[in-house]
Structure 1
Amino acid sequence: MKRYLFLLTIIFTNAITFAQSYNGYRSSNYTGVNGVFFNPANIADSRYRWNVNLFGVNAGVANNTATFNLKTISSTLNSENLDSILLNGNKDKFSAAANIDILGPSFMFNATNRLSFALTTRFRTLVNAEDIDTKLIKSINDNTDDVAFPYSINSTNNQKIIGNGFADIGLSAAMVLHNSRQNFLKAGISVKYLGGVSNNFININNIQGTINEEALPPNDVFLTNANGRVALGHGGVDLENAKMKDILEFKSNGVGADIGFVYEYRPDYENKKEQYDNKYKLKVGLALLDLGAIKYVKSPDQYNADYTVSVPAQSKLYLKDFEDKDYEEIKKYMDNSPFFTNNSTNNNSYSVSLPTILQGNIDYNIADNFYADLSGQFSMTKKTGNTNSYYPTSVTLTPRYDGKIFGVYLPLNYNSLSSFNAGLGLRAGPLYMGSGSIINTLVSNSKQADFYIGLHVGILHKPKRIVEPQIELPPTPVDTVIIPTIVDSDNDGINDDQDKCPFVPGTEKYNGCPVPDTDNDGINDDDDKCPTVQGLAKYNGCPVPDSDNDGINDEEDRCPLVAGIRANFGCPEIKEEIIKKVNYAASHLLFATGKSKILPASYPSLNVLAAILETDKTLKLNIDGHTDNVGKPDMNQLLSEARANAAKEYLVKKGIEAERIITTGYGDTNPVADNKTKAGKTKNRRIEMKVSN
């Protein structure tokens, strides 16, 4: 099997990076437009009036097996050596994670002192290899000198390699939500057009069997007495043979979003009022990044296949048949092999989720330009999917010097894959560069290596120039008293002698002071329709309304226009008579033995159920399928899902909207009686229904 089958980094490029991108630099207050990639709220109240990123590239590699230092890194990362190091380590399984993160031309500007906008471009490739069985890969690659045969495989882990390449073009907006001098809150959101470039994956799940070799030369290695599942797929562009125009067509696309908040505690506000100042003593940020998915539409050169593997004890599946084959050749081989059963559906498309993370940080200003930032990123992507890439969970402590022109960063990172890493970052004028692991690679062996470099330009906010009042001398040399021009310190058009807030810009209506916020809800009284009661901006400063006067506000009320009860989330109480009819329909739902075909005897009760749902459009229905333990668990799972879906399809044909019905199959996992008896098995073969609003 070609090396890129188990190490997809070769598919994308030989330059890859890991976990948090731009370690160290990302904690700076002078990232400009690039700050939007780490938390979209960062660009509000930015130190820059405007900022342009010209380019940024982050590259490296990380794993839990191979180690390297600065002297050996180039030879280690060579594709001819890296697979050997991964496979010949001291672990039976290896994992790795990788990506390339390119920050393209991007621009931000302050529209006002409260509102900022940004337009960004970015390209990423991500690769995850998880729980890869080294002996199995060696057997496929005919590299079995140190493997003792026969070798039993009893892997319940989900071995997988996933590679995704995609670009995004984002529009970001951020604004100051609240500023009461010492307490400051801002928020931001980015909406992104996603252009899918390529998706590739292979998944080996729950493989159990024996690997052995023939007694006579050439001692071919084979798999026998085995079962399990294998899935593989390819969507988008074939990067090995693609031209740049193919990559930029973005035939697969989607929509993504980032959202973030930043709170700052500013105890020294009186001495730091200018926009160019970093005013906080403590800053707390929280962001949910990379929400969304990319839809890949299948074409003749794309596929997404799922196979059941079954090799009888008397048969042999020779692993050399997979050596030096690419994805398409492997799929063709499996389709024609008696040992593989294709379970794939005929869906015309499939979706790939973005590597969603929840990111938080706490930044403390030690003194002047010296700071310490503690940040963590936590993967929110489901690892059970075949196609989804994800970032490893990590925690980073970054002490730093962060001046306007020059910055030095010391990121100390611990992640779930390569453990502890120490790095160094530098910012000097428009240049930013660094590594999250350079100190490790200098002083010892490291399981991670990365490097980043980029250029950005912009104009920082500057202190306001105070113009001294000019003193005009009288035309004649007579004794007189010279009175200087009256001063307006805050430049709000109201002279200091008439200004009750001479150092804070205000309005004449409030005697030179800012518009007040009587109820402290962050909405000034001029814009607040309920100035004495705390509310929300979306309701013009008033509390959340309760349209049906049932004591449950509209945002918590699932039926905001119909009075209901809190126990039913604001909807009317469901009558006991309806619940009984639903339960009756579920208990009298009969199927053909071992099939999902509904028997005609079930139609009357299902028709009653359909009439109930048609009468009350607020009702929703959950249908759960269950089986006994006769047969294989995976077949029972499929049967339970099929029966639940059959009931749904019947109701949909009767005019009920499909989105009001949720189906779930549990297979034989939730018995209500003992499966050892016939009566118990009968009870366990059931459909459960629950109605709700």
Structure 2
Amino acid sequence: MTAQDHFSGINMSTRVGILNAGMNPAELSNLSSKYEINIFSASVNASNNKIGFSDIVNGENLENLLFTGNTPVNMRVDAEIYGPGFAMKMDKWAFGFTTKAAAKLNLIDIDPQLGAAINTGNLIGSSSISNDYNQRLNGTSWGEIGISAARNVFENENHKFNAGATLKLLFPGSYTNLGLDQFQGTINTIGAEAYLNNTQASMNIAYSGNFNDGFTDFNNYSESVFGKLNGVAADFGVNYQWKDQDGYKINAGIAVRNIGTMTFKDDANSSTNYALNIQSTFSNPNGLALSQFQNTTTLKEVETILVNDGYLTKTTSSKNFKVTLPTVFSAYADIKVIPKFFVALYTQQKLKDDTSDNQVTTQNVVSITPRFSLKNYEIYSSWSDNEISGITGGVGLRVYGFYMGSSSIVTALASDSKQADFYVGYRLGLK
């Protein structure tokens, strides 16, 4: 359920393991050992299109920076944690079992003027806003159990073809979504107060699980990752190797991942579509005072304010709702340039529209990773062009089964990267 390129570099290691199969289930047929045990792996990514690494170091007001300029705000914060996992190969078949938890918090195409006015409660002067897209604030947490199988379809002295699939059992934890589609409105400053008036939009407000109590507190994510089994998804992939006496000259593959949905069911669930209409009234002649939202911590509080002020008209509502996973197409090729030195090319392209409500988000990525690889040691440097944060570069290493790295540490220190990420893990291979 990759959002950024999690585990960048190590997921195309010549020491093939469970992380490689997470990128393409057909890679299970290339396991470096007969048995693979995943002890623990964790990857955390944060990327945006406004705040640079130097802004954090210099102690700038990050909330104010986030809503500067005219470009819509995009921010992604997400984590993947692999728990115990096991894989094995036998003859032409290979099988795997994985456990994983995932959590995401996203701002998607937020109008900076609207965001600034809500964040501070005031705005200098007046501003008219007209957007033809869906602004979203979205948080999701879930767990999964993966069951994988791969088979060697054809192999001779020079070539090898594999195919594989993974069935994922999904355990939705918590979810929240605020969508403002086709937003039209005017922000007026009266005194020190910002008011929203002459406003129309389609609004979706949804919440489930721990996110009823807020979605910016880390504890609400960590305490609600694994819910009840309520969804399935699948990955499919094929793999090709042009072999040589020391392994391969080229290892390439394509995969389609995260085909599926999960259903959130909870007594406190709510997913409601509204027509938002804010006009001057006798009791509120200036419209909606945006300062009312500054101390809100849940979407339920936002919903209550708008309903009580008479600005929302319910169109549809449901107790249980389905959320679609971020289906992606990925392709890669790991090329041996000289013995022990490889260059890996990778691309991930989303197949769903991030602006749709009830859609878990992702982003497009293209990366290149030069790597020096020995049997028990690897060092590599992954460079990516990310849809949101732009160009990032980092380093990573593997020592036997231990690995750690970042795909942004070099650009964060050398320039002004808008992404920060880190991963670490340990795995064990048994002959």
With structure 2 as the length reference, what TM-score do the two structures score?
Answer: 0.91
1:52 to 37, 41, 60: 37
Post-superposition offset of 1:382:
2.7
Whether the 8 Å CA contact 1:128–1:389 is kept in 2: the answer is no
Post-superposition offset of 1:74:
9.9
Residue in structure 1 matched with residue 114 of structure 2 by the alignment: 136
Taking the aligned partners of 1:411 and 1:395, their CA distance within structure 2 comes to: 10
State whether structure 2 residue 83 is matched by structure 1 residue 83: no
Alpha-carbon displacement from aligned partner over 1:144-193 (angstroms, at most 9, x marks no partner): 3xx43221111222111211111111111111001132221001111111
Whether the 8 Å CA contact 2:378–2:399 is kept in 1: the answer is yes
Post-superposition offset of 1:53:
1.1
When the two chains are superposed, the root-mean-square deviation of aligned CA atoms in Å is 2.3
Post-superposition offset of 1:310:
1.6
Whether the 8 Å CA contact 1:19–1:98 is kept in 2: the answer is no
Q: Which moved more, 1:322-331 or 1:185-194?
A: 322-331
Taking the aligned partners of 1:28 and 1:335, their CA distance within structure 2 comes to: 54
State whether structure 2 residue 316 is matched by structure 1 residue 344: yes
Secondary structure in 1 aligned to 2:300? Answer: helix
The residue type equivalent to 2:346 in the other structure is S
State whether structure 2 residue 4 is matched by structure 1 residue 27: no
Taking the aligned partners of 2:108 and 2:222, their CA distance within structure 1 comes to: 32
Q: 1:249 to 1:289 in 2, by over 3 A?
A: closer
Post-superposition offset of 1:222:
1.0
Taking the aligned partners of 2:39 and 2:342, their CA distance within structure 1 comes to: 27
Taking the aligned partners of 1:126 and 1:20, their CA distance within structure 2 comes to: 14
Whether the 8 Å CA contact 1:127–1:163 is kept in 2: the answer is yes
Post-superposition offset of 1:311:
2.2
1:197 to 173, 178, 183: 173
Whether the 8 Å CA contact 1:18–1:450 is kept in 2: the answer is no
Taking the aligned partners of 2:116 and 2:349, their CA distance within structure 1 comes to: 33
Taking the aligned partners of 1:432 and 1:179, their CA distance within structure 2 comes to: 31
State whether structure 2 residue 301 is matched by structure 1 residue 329: yes
State whether structure 2 residue 205 is matched by structure 1 residue 251: no
The residue type equivalent to 2:199 in the other structure is A
Post-superposition offset of 1:85:
2.8
The residue type equivalent to 1:265 in the other structure is W
State whether structure 2 residue 262 is matched by structure 1 residue 294: yes
Residue in structure 2 matched with residue 365 of structure 1 by the alignment: 336
Post-superposition offset of 1:195:
0.4
Q: 1:44 to 1:83 in 2, by over 3 A?
A: same
Q: Which moved more, 1:90-99 or 1:32-41?
A: 90-99
Q: 1:124 to 1:189 in 2, by over 3 A?
A: same
Taking the aligned partners of 1:375 and 1:109, their CA distance within structure 2 comes to: 26
Taking the aligned partners of 1:243 and 1:98, their CA distance within structure 2 comes to: 15
Whether the 8 Å CA contact 1:27–1:398 is kept in 2: the answer is no
Q: 1:456 to 1:73 in 2, by over 3 A?
A: farther
1:416 to 383, 387, 391: 387
Residue in structure 2 matched with residue 303 of structure 1 by the alignment: 270
Post-superposition offset of 1:236:
2.8
State whether structure 2 residue 235 is matched by structure 1 residue 262: no
State whether structure 2 residue 289 is matched by structure 1 residue 318: yes
Post-superposition offset of 1:31:
3.9
Q: 1:192 to 1:457 in 2, by over 3 A?
A: same
State whether structure 2 residue 349 is matched by structure 1 residue 382: no
Q: 1:248 to 1:352 in 2, by over 3 A?
A: closer
State whether structure 2 residue 210 is matched by structure 1 residue 237: yes
Q: 1:430 to 1:75 in 2, by over 3 A?
A: farther
Whether the 8 Å CA contact 1:176–1:185 is kept in 2: the answer is yes
Secondary structure in 1 aligned to 2:120? Answer: coil
1:401 to 360, 363, 372: 372
Post-superposition offset of 1:393:
0.3
State whether structure 2 residue 65 is matched by structure 1 residue 63: no
Alpha-carbon displacement from aligned partner over 1:586-621 (angstroms, at most 9, x marks no partner): xxxxxxxxxxxxxxxxxxxxxxxxxxxxxxxxxxxx
Taking the aligned partners of 1:247 and 1:52, their CA distance within structure 2 comes to: 26
Post-superposition offset of 1:357:
0.8
Taking the aligned partners of 2:194 and 2:357, their CA distance within structure 1 comes to: 28
| Matched-pair identity in % | 27
Secondary structure in 1 aligned to 2:307? Answer: helix
Taking the aligned partners of 2:209 and 2:425, their CA distance within structure 1 comes to: 29
Taking the aligned partners of 1:184 and 1:73, their CA distance within structure 2 comes to: 49
The residue type equivalent to 1:115 in the other structure is W
State whether structure 2 residue 16 is matched by structure 1 residue 43: no
Taking the aligned partners of 1:248 and 1:383, their CA distance within structure 2 comes to: 22
Taking the aligned partners of 2:278 and 2:83, their CA distance within structure 1 comes to: 50
Residue in structure 2 matched with residue 449 of structure 1 by the alignment: 420
Taking the aligned partners of 2:392 and 2:179, their CA distance within structure 1 comes to: 30
Whether the 8 Å CA contact 2:403–2:426 is kept in 1: the answer is yes
Taking the aligned partners of 2:319 and 2:178, their CA distance within structure 1 comes to: 19
Whether the 8 Å CA contact 2:196–2:278 is kept in 1: the answer is yes
2:158 to 179, 182, 195: 182
Whether the 8 Å CA contact 2:328–2:349 is kept in 1: the answer is yes
Post-superposition offset of 1:313:
5.3
State whether structure 2 residue 142 is matched by structure 1 residue 162: no
Taking the aligned partners of 1:353 and 1:340, their CA distance within structure 2 comes to: 26
Secondary structure in 2 aligned to 1:164? Answer: strand
Alpha-carbon displacement from aligned partner over 1:85-114 (angstroms, at most 9, x marks no partner): 312x344421112210111111111122x2
Residue in structure 2 matched with residue 285 of structure 1 by the alignment: 253
Alpha-carbon displacement from aligned partner over 1:294-345 (angstroms, at most 9, x marks no partner): 011252x221121112223564122122221221112222233322111123
Secondary structure in 1 aligned to 2:306? Answer: helix
Q: Write 1 or 2 for the structure with the bigger share of strand.
A: 2
Post-superposition offset of 1:73:
5.0
Residue in structure 2 matched with residue 630 of structure 1 by the alignment: none
Taking the aligned partners of 1:243 and 1:148, their CA distance within structure 2 comes to: 35
Secondary structure in 1 aligned to 2:20? Answer: helix
Taking the aligned partners of 2:374 and 2:146, their CA distance within structure 1 comes to: 28
**Uncovered stretches (5+) of structure 2, i.e. residues with no partner:** none
1:111 to 90, 93, 96: 90
Residue in structure 2 matched with residue 207 of structure 1 by the alignment: 183
Alpha-carbon displacement from aligned partner over 1:616-672 (angstroms, at most 9, x marks no partner): xxxxxxxxxxxxxxxxxxxxxxxxxxxxxxxxxxxxxxxxxxxxxxxxxxxxxxxxx
Post-superposition offset of 1:28:
0.6
The residue type equivalent to 1:231 in the other structure is N
Q: Write 1 or 2 for the structure with the bigger share of helix.
A: 1
Taking the aligned partners of 1:329 and 1:29, their CA distance within structure 2 comes to: 51
Alpha-carbon displacement from aligned partner over 1:213-265 (angstroms, at most 9, x marks no partner): 224xxx32211122112211102333769789973661362011111110112
**Uncovered stretches (5+) of structure 1, i.e. residues with no partner:** 1-16, 461-693
Residue in structure 1 matched with residue 100 of structure 2 by the alignment: 122
Post-superposition offset of 1:126:
2.0
The residue type equivalent to 1:211 in the other structure is I
